[in-house]
Structure 1
């Protein structure tokens, strides 16, 4: 049986699995101080997206990844881009009722509502990310125009 508490636990469970606070002051602090490097691997694992594709989607160069692995955390801008990816993936996961393969497939394929662009290619800026999230919201509510 679905309850608001179970929905809340699912949301928190997703964010715990990627190693990011779900919301609030702890999220903001984590983004400002830099997400732990493990978040990158966790996001790749949870989403089924190859690490190289995740790096491309979040605009993090391989040399930067190597430096961040040694440092143990990302800087603020990189953390924000990783968070945006996680937010979009979680929204797609919700759209496809928890079916991770379907959510990943949707992210990787051109979408008419995004001008035939792939959602995963539209995560490098906040404006494009917002467009993807808005489309997901419209699809969830049956608003296609």
Structure 2
């Protein structure tokens, strides 16, 4: 047992999680409150930076028209539905990045290309509904565990 403990390294507590980086509570009451109150526009900018997508691309994938995006930038926050779509994108992007062991470029490429396990649909095009998002997350989980059928 001593050998195992000697080789054990605790996770680096100073390394921020994806959720801390983008400014979204990961789970629980804080997340629910943030969604109901509306996500800050800062979260959007951080998601753009984290994902490597262009501002207009992310807006398109989360179904926020350009004029609405401009209004939200001025107002400083999104409404409930928009916040939920931003969260769905963040959840899928985070899961995809974990699937590709932290490689954001590979994660982004996977999201932007048709995937056989999704009926040759692009994962990023399946964020409009919670059911589609759940299908993407389910596939990611199966891929992580080597279950292909």
Q: Same fold (TM over 0.5)?
A: yes
- 1:4-26, CA deviations, whole angstroms, 9 ceiling, x for partnerless residues? x639876x621111111121111
Number of equivalent positions: 143
Give TM-score scaled by structure 1 length.
Answer: 0.92
1:144 and 2:139 correspond: no
Task: Choose which of 63, 76, 79 in structure 1 pairs with 2:80.
Answer: 76
Equivalent residue for 2:114? Answer: 110
Give 5+ residue unaligned stretches, structure 1: none
Equivalent residue for 1:39? Answer: 43
Q: Which whole-Å CA distance do the structure 2 matches of 1:69 and 1:132 have between them?
A: 29
Equivalent residue for 1:99? Answer: 103
Give 5+ residue unaligned stretches, structure 2: 1-6
- Relative to structure 1, is the Cα distance of residues 66 and 2 closer, same or farther in structure 2, using a 3 angstrom cutoff? farther
- Relative to structure 1, is the Cα distance of residues 66 and 144 closer, same or farther in structure 2, using a 3 angstrom cutoff? same
User: Which 4+ runs in 1 deviate beyond 2 A?
Assistant: 5-10
Q: Which whole-Å CA distance do the structure 2 matches of 1:114 and 1:2 have between them?
A: 39
